[in-house]
Amino acid sequence: MSEAPTGAEAPPQPGDRSVAVSTEEQRRAKVERLRAEGVDPYPHAFPDRTHVEEIEAKHDPAELGEGEHEEFSYRVMGRVTGKRGHGKTAFLDVRDITGTIQAYARRDVLGEEAFARVEELDIGDLVGIEGPLHVTKRGQLAIGVRECTLLAKALKDPPDLFHGISDPDTRYRQRELDLMANADSREIFKKRDDLLFAIRTHMHEHGWVELETPVLQRMTGGAAARPFVTHHNALDRELFLRTATELYLKRAIVGGFEDVYEFGKFFRNEGMSPQHNPEFTMLEMFVGGADYNGVMEFIEVLVASVVQKVMGTTVVERDGVEIDFAAPWPRVRLRDELLREIGLDIYEASRDELAEAAGDAVGPDDDWAGVVDTLQGKFVEPKLIQPTYVIDLPIDIWPLVKVHPESDRVCEAFDGIVAGMEIVGGGTDLNDPVEQRERFIKQRERQEKGAEPDPHPHDEEFVRALEYGMPPASGCGLGIDRLLMIMTGAKTLRDVIIYPAMRELGG
């Protein structure tokens, strides 16, 4: 083992910029000099590399002891996040997706030309480092540089890689800078991947079948939402980005499938807010042979399971409050909750009586169902912090769900509320083709009376499919973005959607 070079006990600290930062003009000039010297500043590959996390898992610095360990050699690829020069030695912090490791280069080992190129590196450059493992005097793992390859010259000065980016507009519009500078953001999107994998694994282990239905649809249906419209040139007709997958998945159930689901992007041409993005990810699923109790039981176990796998516990903290996703979740009837909150029985009260209780939140075009829905959002949901199902909802808002035996004003539908937000909604699916056609017609009439009538017809092909017979089923849609938002404590969907929709600057 060789001794540690002078200065090894004083490695660069995170964000250390003691070496002068180059301007963009200087960085571009460096690229031209390298090319003139026959060096490609953007080589094609750097194979056979090892992640920092793997190196740290394999080696205990205390067991190895201080100094260089030639028997262990590694190739690491990452971004230079810190740099310091000490005469004949240069220190770098090199960060990959799994962590950061120190690299030190010595003039007497590399030679004048290679060492000079290390000194020419700038914060933000991508490099490949190869060399033996080293333990510093501070007991930290490092790589002694035997070869340093510039993999991509950064032409712009990166953001503050130590303190991160605080301006939200920059974070959302230039997510690459946010990911580069903010470890918390990188962690959120790693957890998003973990969440999707955990859900798919759970579904597969329980015998579910994942289907893929069209994103471009001839007719809209399955959600009361305004679609995005596009034009198919070859077919010379309008198509719509899907607002839901419900009608297609149910047609698959008619065909013989039972427990089916689909992960996918959904598109609703509506407003934007911290809880709404026009493009979002949802899990839509149907339990064969079950009513809404069956799908509620399945989804609460699913969510509890995946939160446990991703977070290591079913309990997460949001705004200083602990939220426990463990099943079972309590169920409350909307009728009972509103009777307690406003003193009116929604099964008996008129539209105007309910509207008076709702106040300014109700518009003149809102009918009874619309007013009740507003009351739910105003008086019930904000108080539900722990996972809770609100059940038996206005039937006119749920045209694909079976009527409730207690009242023809409501149906066997539910909303799953967590932290005052709806994360899942569903119900017992209507499988009577005659009633389904009548409900579609009634929904059409209701929409035409509203302020923004839906100009797109519902899918008659779905009713035709029902005429062949669909077995009992219940389904729901789980909002992945909102679930992740609650799990990670994020304040807005923009923190969990890697490239969220943004208004034009100045708009």
Residue 248: pLDDT above 90?
A: yes
Q: Phi-psi region for residue 419, left (φ > 0), alpha (ψ -120 to 50) or beta?
A: left
* Main-chain dihedrals φ then ψ at residue 36, nearest 5 degrees: -65, -30
Domain end (from 104, 137, 152):
152
Confidence of residue 485 (pLDDT cuts 50, 70, 90): very high
Q: How confident is the model at residue 449 (pLDDT cuts 50, 70, 90)?
A: low
pLDDT of res. 227: 80
Q: Looking at the structure, do residues 237 and 113 belong to the same domain, yes or no? A: no
> Between 292-311 and 183-205, two packed helices, what is the crossing angle to 10 degrees?
130
The per-residue pLDDT for range 32-82, each reduced to its tens digit, is 999 999 999 999 999 999 999 999 999 999 999 999 999 999 999 999 999
Q: Is residue 407 part of a domain?
A: yes
Q: What integer pLDDT is reported at residue 243 of this predicted model?
A: 86
pLDDT at 405 over 80: yes
Average pLDDT score over the chain: 90
- The verdict on whether omega for the bond into residue 328 sits within 30 degrees of 0, i.e. cis, is yes
Counting Cβ atoms within 10 Å, is residue 383 exposed (0-12), middle (13-18) or buried (19+)?
exposed
Domain that holds residue 301: 180-330+386-495
Between 13 and 121, residue with greater pLDDT: 121
Q: Looking at the structure, do residues 301 and 432 belong to the same domain, yes or no?
A: yes
Domain shared by 187 and 272, yes or no = yes
Share of the chain above pLDDT 70, in %: 92
- Residue 320 and residue 220 share a domain: yes
Between 444 and 466, name the one with better pLDDT.
Answer: 466
Given its phi and psi angles, is residue 333 left (phi above 0), alpha (psi -120 to 50 degrees) or beta?
A: beta
User: 420 and 290, same structural domain?
Assistant: yes
Does one domain contain both 133 and 207? no
pLDDT at 232: 87
The number of residues in the chain equals 507
Q: Residue range 423-446: average pLDDT? A: 91
Residue 17 counted as domain residue: no
pLDDT confidence bin for 7, thresholds 50/70/90 = very low
Strand partners, 106: 89
Same domain, residue pair 125 and 199: no
Compute the Cα dihedral for 279, 280, 285, 291 and give only its sign.
Answer: negative
CATH number of the CATH domain containing 127: 2.40.50.140
Please report, in angstroms and rounded to a whole number, the separation of the first and last CA atoms in the chain.
63
Question: Which stretches of 231-323 are DSSP H helices?
Answer: 246-254, 292-311
Q: Residue 102 domain-assigned? A: yes
In a domain, 380, yes or no: no
Question: pLDDT at position 86, please?
Answer: 76
Q: What is the pTM (predicted TM-score) of this model? A: 0.88
Q: How many distinct structural domains can be found in the chain?
A: 2
User: Domain containing 203 — which CATH number?
Assistant: 3.30.930.10
**Structure confidence by residue, pLDDT tens digits, 256-297:** 999 999 998 988 888 777 788 888 999 999 999 999 999 999
Q: Is residue 118 located within the same domain as residue 254?
A: no
